[in-house]
Amino acid sequence: AKDNGESKTDVLIIGAGPSGLMAAYWMARCGINARIVDKRGTKVFTGQADGLRMRTLELFDSIGFQHRVQQEGHVAVEANFWVPDGKGNLIRQGPHCSSKANESPFRNMLLNQGRIERFLLDSIQAHSDLQVERGVIAETFEYDEKMEDDPNGYPITVKLRTLSDEEANPSSLRVTETNHTAAARGVARGNLLLDDWNELVTRSRAKETKSEIVKAKYLIGCDGAHSWTRKQVNIPLEGSTTDHVWGVIDVVPISDFPDIRRLGTVTHASGTILVIPRERNMVRLYVPVQTIEAVTTSEGRFDRSKITLEIIKQRVQVIFAPYTFDFQVCDWWAAYQIGQRIAPTFSKGNRIFLAGDAVHTHSPKVGLGMNMSMQDGFNIGWKVALVASGVAQPSILGTYDAERHRLAEMLLDFDRHWSGLFTEGDEESKPQNMIKVVELFEDFADGRKSFYGASELVWKLENDRDQPAARHLTPGERFPPVKLRMQADGNLRWTTRLLESDGRFRVVILAGDMREATQKDRVLALTQSLSGSDENESLVLDHYTPIVGHFDSAIDVIAIHSAPWTEVEFFDFPKILRPFDPVRGWNYDKIWCDDACIWNKDCDGKGYERWGVDRMRGAMVVVRPDQYIGWVGELEEVDELTRYLDGVLIRKAANNCPH
């Protein structure tokens, strides 16, 4: 291999699956000197994960591509459970629909992992020149612990090698137009959208391999279930693999089963199939195959390699009977064995972080693999980006493990409960047991609750008491979505989009009823302490290091007031909320109104009620760059707000980093 010498980068991301791309998004957004490599020659095109939970869709909205998922994906809200009626037929039980389905602008959806990777890649490209270096494998690793506390040090050394076309691209991708093997059928011009097809035909085709030494300040290992990075830092994956063997197929079904286009399960004495409707008329089926003799070895163990597409099909036919089942088109299929495993820690020395499947693996049937992995990448990405750019205190990196490990444990707990139901228990009580498990875990699974504990990033009141200023805005939880009107033009926007993931903390001034003179004075006094005035020395927003080249402050300020929009005017608000540029004019999108709108029922003017905030007095909230609430207080509590920000951000004078 040719030697390409040595280079330096602030952040190296290994693996460009969902978790790595999410972390890379933040690097692109915050202008970080970063690299992302993946040993595969291309992204995923077919198969693998497909479930998207509501919270993940909210995060997509904060990035700006939720609408693309909406256009291409399939909504799956109601579930039906089919069970034998004892007379040789199957009967429907359901539909079951979560009572909390409307607590988000978005419903759970299904769309292929490859499309999600596409949207993330496009978002990265929209903000920077950062490109995934494909066909590049990380091969050797060294870590110099002595440099751990030196913000300017590069303690990580990784050797990268560019792979040949043969090593980087599986055979199913190499003969795309003529390959008619079942596994490759989905990877054909007719099945791929133009952007994916273009990537496939222009994929890397390196002839010669070359290697390069890269020195990095931070390393994020997003390299999947067999994580190379995790092994380098000697972090084990603890847990077990069960004997349950499953087949998964993405097919266009030819079937008279009435709910073949609906989310649900079909139960038989020998196991339960999970039915998941997909885009392009496809359906994904998770099929238990461990009871089949053909895949059992002479020692009575299961041999996964013996499972074929035909075996899976026959199994579906048995379980679906008396309904018929067949297919001509199979986009993708695989056989897998369930295991629940978790790493005891997700980081080393606040320099090396592991995300996604690299630190937790479980059965795909809970539909959370991709969601959890992306949310891990989302959580660590902004923290590393802001620390690497000298904007945030390195101590915030410790919150990654604390916040995400707890959720990964819940994920495994959910999976144990849920997966067990597919192979155990009597047929009759199965639907009720399934609903019970779904209801027990749905706040966690859909992401309505994040369960992030107290830390420098999350200021909680003792004993998790309600915050009196805003009873339902809980530090460590998401900002409950509300549709608001823009004061200046009446256009509507969900808070999920308004609180854009651009790397900044947001001070949200819930300004209350600005028609009242005393309330207007309170808001004015607050904004003067934040932005300064001729007499005021305390320029809170000016204290902290900005995200150089992107924003002149690491903190954005917006206001949401509660008066009818017709009774207050844009120019009633303090200047900090309506910045003026002599060329570009006023910035109108910082002042919002929680006022009902007759032409859109989602905008019902009940945001303050949902947030538990007094419509007259308002409140103040700090929302972290990832849309989780960090701090809540009264409009006068500027000193406490400053203490919160001091614990997280670096003051300009104290910043000795050469960024």
Q: What is the closest distance, in whole angstroms, from the C-beta atom of residue 302 to ligand FAD in the complex?
A: 17
Residue among 230 and 497 whose Cβ is closer to ligand FAD:
230
**E strands within 256-306?**
264-268, 271-277, 283-288
Q: What is the closest distance, in whole angstroms, from the C-beta atom of residue 653 to ligand FAD in the complex?
A: 39
Residue among 248 and 559 whose Cβ is closer to ligand FAD:
248
Q: What is the closest distance, in whole angstroms, from the C-beta atom of residue 214 to ligand FAD in the complex?
A: 12
Of the listed 185, 278, 351, 404, which one is catalytic? 278
H/E segment holding residue 405: helix 398-423
- For ligand FAD, the binding residues (CB under 6 A) are 14-20, 37-40, 48-51, 113, 137-138, 222-224, 228, 248, 334, 356-358, 364, 367, 369-370, 373
Q: Could you identify the residue written with the tokens 């970063």?
A: 34
Q: What is the closest distance, in whole angstroms, from the C-beta atom of residue 502 to ligand FAD in the complex?
A: 23
Of the listed 364, 480, 481, 625, which one is catalytic? 364
Tell me how far CA of residue 107 lies from CA of 56, 78, 410, in angstroms.
10, 10, 22
Q: What is the closest distance, in whole angstroms, from the C-beta atom of residue 38 to ligand FAD in the complex?
A: 5
Q: HSE, CB side, 13 Å, CA atoms: give it for residue 569.
A: 2
Q: What is the closest distance, in whole angstroms, from the C-beta atom of residue 586 to ligand FAD in the complex?
A: 42
Residue among 19 and 350 whose Cβ is closer to ligand FAD:
19
Residue among 19 and 455 whose Cβ is closer to ligand FAD:
19
Q: Could you identify the residue written with the tokens 């004015």?
A: 524
In the residue annotation, 639 being an active-site residue is answered as no
Long-range contacts of 479-483 (CB under 8 A, 24+ apart): 479/508, 479/621, 479/623, 479/627, 479/628, 479/629, 480/103, 480/610, 480/611, 481/58, 481/103, 481/104, 481/105, 482/594, 482/606, 482/607, 482/610, 482/611, 483/105, 483/597, 483/600, 483/602, 483/603, 483/604
Cα 27 to Cα 20: distance, rounded to the nearest angstrom = 11
Cα 22 to Cα 381: distance, rounded to the nearest angstrom = 7
Q: How many residues does the chain have?
A: 659
Cα 246 to Cα 242: distance, rounded to the nearest angstrom = 11
Q: 316, 183 in Cβ contact below 8 A?
A: no
Residue among 40 and 483 whose Cβ is closer to ligand FAD:
40
Of the listed 25, 286, 400, 544, which one is catalytic? 286
Q: What is the closest distance, in whole angstroms, from the C-beta atom of residue 163 to ligand FAD in the complex?
A: 9
Q: What is the closest distance, in whole angstroms, from the C-beta atom of residue 27 to ligand FAD in the complex?
A: 15
Q: What is the closest distance, in whole angstroms, from the C-beta atom of residue 101 to ligand FAD in the complex?
A: 20
* Helices (H), ranges, 77-135: 113-127
Residue among 134 and 578 whose Cβ is closer to ligand FAD:
134
Residue among 213 and 334 whose Cβ is closer to ligand FAD:
334
Cα 547 to Cα 30: distance, rounded to the nearest angstrom = 7
Q: What is the closest distance, in whole angstroms, from the C-beta atom of residue 617 to ligand FAD in the complex?
A: 44
- Which of 386, 455, 402, 499 minimizes the C-alpha distance to 644? 455
Cα 363 to Cα 192: distance, rounded to the nearest angstrom = 27
In the residue annotation, 154 being an active-site residue is answered as no
Residue among 222 and 509 whose Cβ is closer to ligand FAD:
222
In the residue annotation, 278 being an active-site residue is answered as yes
Residue among 58 and 250 whose Cβ is closer to ligand FAD:
250
Is the CA virtual torsion 83, 85, 91, 92 positive or negative? Answer: negative
Q: Could you identify the residue written with the tokens 């299929």?
A: 333
Residue among 38 and 196 whose Cβ is closer to ligand FAD:
38
Of the listed 10, 38, 50, 223, which one is catalytic? 50
Cα 345 to Cα 359: distance, rounded to the nearest angstrom = 8
Long-range contacts of 300-307 (CB under 8 A, 24+ apart): 301/243, 302/243, 302/245, 302/337, 304/245, 304/335, 304/336, 304/337, 307/245, 307/247, 307/335
Tell me how far CA of residue 378 lies from CA of 27, 382, 623, in angstroms.
11, 7, 15
In the residue annotation, 286 being an active-site residue is answered as yes
Burial of 631 (0-12, 13-18, 19+ CB in 10 A): buried
Q: 113, 248 in Cβ contact below 8 A?
A: no
Q: What is the closest distance, in whole angstroms, from the C-beta atom of residue 180 to ligand FAD in the complex?
A: 21
Q: Residue 560 corresponds to which tokens in the numbers above?
A: 């949401």
Residue among 42 and 255 whose Cβ is closer to ligand FAD:
42
H/E segment holding residue 373: helix 369-388
- Which of 503, 515, 510, 455 minimizes the C-alpha distance to 479? 510
As annotated, the active-site residues are 50, 278, 286, 364
